[in-house]
Every structure is written in C-alpha cells, then in structure tokens.
Amino acid sequence: MAVAASPRLRARSVADRAEIAAFLRTDRLYAAYALADLDGPNRKRVAWAMAHDDAGRATALAMHHEGLVPQPLFLMGAPDGCRAIMEHVLKPRDAYLQATELHEAAVRDLYELDAPLAMLRMVVDRDSFIPFGGPADRLTALDVDDLNRLYQLGFRAGFPASVVEDGVYYGVRVRGRLVSAAGTHAINAREGIAVVGNVMTHADFRGHDSAKMVTSAVTAELLERVPDVALNVHADNVSAVAAYDRLGYRTHCQLIERLARRRAGGWGIMRPIREAMRFPWPRESR
C-alpha cells in the first residue's frame, strides 16, 4: 500500500520548541523518546519538520538525528503528512526508522527498507509500578569500565563516563563482577518523562531475575523525578515482556524499527562503490 502526500499539505522545517512539544504531547507515550530528547545534550544535532493542512493545523511531525552513520528517524501523525515531510524537507540518505506500519507505507517509495523489528512500547507510572527487590547497586562513573565490559557482549561501542554520570544506572555484581545492568536513554524532567534502556545480563547469569532487579531499581529512581517511564522491547521476547509486565509496565503501542536507505540520488549511485570498498561506517547504539 502506498500513501501519497496530499497537495493541500505544507511541510516545513521547525525549530520552535513549544510548537514541537505541543504536537509530541498529543501522544506523549508514543513520542516518549522524542520528548526525552527534546531538551537533551544532543538537541542541536536533531532536525525537526512538521506538516500542516490547508487550515494551518499540524498533522504530522518527523525527527531525525543528524550524523554520518544511520541515525534515528522518528515519524508521528498522519501518514500523508509524514510522506510530505520526507519528500520535501527531511531527506536523510540512511536512517534507522522508528515508526508504525502506516508510516512505513508512507515512505516506502522513497526508501528501501530492511527487514523489520517489531517492538513494543511499554510504559509505567507511579500508580502502576510494582517494585522488585534485590541486590542492585547504583552505578557511578567509576563503574564505566565494568559497564562497558558487560555491554561489549552486545554493543559495539563503549560509553563514556558522562553517560553514567548524567543518567541513572544500576547493576548487580556476583563476586565483584558486574553481571547485569540497566540504565537510561534519556530523562526530561521538564516534560515529565524518562526512557529506560541498555538492559543487559551476561549469558552465564540469566534466569536469576537480575534484569528485573536492575530495571526495577532504575524505574523506581526515575519515578521519583518524573511521572511516566517508557521502554522498548522486542515483541517476540516473551520473557522480557513478562518481566516488565511484572514490574507494572503495560503495552502502549507496537512500533517497527528498521534501516531505511534513500532510493534516489547520487547516494544510491555511490552505495555499491562504498560497499565494494567496505567503507568503515560504524553504527551508533542508542
């Protein structure tokens, strides 16, 4: 199914924080990552665009993190508005698309789309949260080497100490070794929302509720600062979904994440040359 942009739609870049925030708040839980990033340390590297109908009403919004490697591209609102934005305003060559199936249909003729990852957006608030106790300790910048050692099992790039200092990280140690950890992608107290991420347990220590302990500890501290906490989890990860459900998280919506490559232009011509040369384009993790 293809979605065409209506000729009555007007797409434009936007930088006004109040205008962006007002649209994101129309479904703040779906827009949790974007809201959390709105005032984050990398906000100057984020490009925003909106679509408006002929009455001047905002119908869609897109957010793209600028950079050399595929960066997150978030779509929200009416699919035809998103189509207009991606056709006329935001035109990243490669991006990591985060959207719904309807949004994908809107940009499919503009982008080649890799195999999808179905994700659940799960959310929790102060009323629904169910703490899970355990020996989870607050991590500091002094723990960043241990944290990176754990994350190297599944992530390609290490974190600087500032990630731990600016966020909220908890870990579980066994005989002094960090075997499980969870942290944050972003916190925005102004918008009252935070995002949990980077949950990992060493393969040798799974099945002992360590992930549940660290996620609970991170969530509890975040809920002291903001009313809503969100996370993404693979839809087919039954055990993880069940663990988050045990903590009081509920599914808000399903998202699709996938790599998107612009179909037309010089970039498309250069891609086979780049791939043949195996140009080293590292992928960042969020």
Q: Whole-model pTM?
A: 0.86
Lowest mean pLDDT among 118-122, 147-151, 225-229: 147-151
pLDDT value at residue 156: 53
Cβ-based neighbours of 168, under 8 Å, separated by 6 or more: 138, 183, 184, 187, 194, 218, 221, 222
Indicate the pLDDT class of residue 37, thresholds 50, 70 and 90.
Answer: confident
pLDDT value at residue 279: 34
Indicate the pLDDT class of residue 157, thresholds 50, 70 and 90.
Answer: low
Average pLDDT over residues 72-77: 97
Question: What domains, with CATH codes, occur in the chain?
Answer: 10-119+255-277 (3.40.630), 129-248 (3.40.630.30)
220 or 37, which is more confident: 220
Exposed / middle / buried, residue 141 (Cβ in 10 Å: 0-12, 13-18, 19+): middle
pLDDT, tens digit, for every residue of 97-119?
A: 999 999 999 999 999 999 999 99
pLDDT, tens digit, for every residue of 224-249?
A: 999 999 999 999 999 999 999 999 99
